[in-house]
Amino acid sequence: MSTLLTQLPTLLGVLVGTLGTILATSLADRARWRRSQSVRWDERRLDAYVDYAHALKESHAVALRLTADHRPGSRSHPIEREEGLARLAEADARRTIVWENLLLLGDEPTVAAAASWRDAIWQVERLARELVEAPSDVAEMLTRVDEARDGYYRAARRSLAVRGGSVEQSATLRQALADRSTATPEVPAG
């Protein structure tokens, strides 16, 4: 019995050490699994954000081509109406599909910003489909699209913890439009 009593502290030390090792390993494995899941969902969220942005840009590009006649000085290449409407319908179908991924994976501020961008583009699409009369200031309508896009990218970057400063484009685009509208064409000498 005295041998057991002398070895008891050693046995308890081994038992505590074993339990500590099991606990530490379990906690480390759980933390590693959570990190890998987080990375996995961040990658999928990034894909959803990018896919949605591409789908919206496609719709917007077609709508711009269809509305080129309503925008003096437009650099959009006009498109034949029937072809443009068919492309717009295809783009809408793609946008609807990727919207579901965004709803599933996106955080609330990004989904709200995506809906605002979509709504701004819908106004241009309504003009392209001739469902509404051209507003007196089409440039203002396009500025709202650009600002909504900036809001979407701001929210998406925040959701993904992307750093690096602002990537907003609306002010730059607005200035470029103003510069184009005030520029006078050069008249060749002679």
Question: How many angstroms separate the CA atoms of 137 and 70, rounded?
Answer: 10
CA 80, 173, 116, 138 torsion: positive or negative? negative
Domain that holds residue 149: 36-181
| Residue carrying structure tokens 């979407």 | 152
The answer to the question of residue 18 being in a domain is no
Closest to 135 measured CA to CA, from 118, 123, 147: 123
Closest to 61 measured CA to CA, from 133, 182, 137, 149: 149
pLDDT of residue 13: 82
| Residue carrying structure tokens 């990375």 | 39
The answer to the question of residue 103 being in a domain is yes
Q: What is the mean pLDDT of the chain?
A: 84
Q: Is the pLDDT of residue 109 over 50?
A: yes
Per-residue pLDDT tens over the stretch 11-68:
778 778 887 888 887 777 777 767 766 556 889 999 999 999 999 999 999 999 999 8
The answer to the question of residue 164 being in a domain is yes
Question: How many angstroms separate the CA atoms of 46 and 41, rounded?
Answer: 8
Please tell me whether the overall predicted TM-score, pTM, comes out greater than 0.75 for this model.
no
The answer to the question of residue 29 being in a domain is no
| Cα dihedral 136, 144, 172, 43 in deg (nearest 10) | -150
Residues 86-101, mean pLDDT to the nearest whole number: 96
| Residue carrying structure tokens 């443009």 | 84
The answer to the question of residue 105 being in a domain is yes
pLDDT of residue 189: 47
The answer to the question of residue 8 being in a domain is no
Per-residue pLDDT tens over the stretch 63-85:
999 998 877 777 788 899 999 99
Per-residue pLDDT tens over the stretch 127-157:
999 888 887 788 889 999 999 999 999 999 9
pLDDT of residue 57: 96
Contact criterion met (CB below 8 Å) for 48 and 98: yes
Q: What percent of the chain has pLDDT over 70?
A: 84
CB neighbour class for 153 (10 Å; exposed up to 12, middle 13-18, buried from 19): buried
Number of domains in the chain: 1
Closest to 136 measured CA to CA, from 79, 183, 71: 71
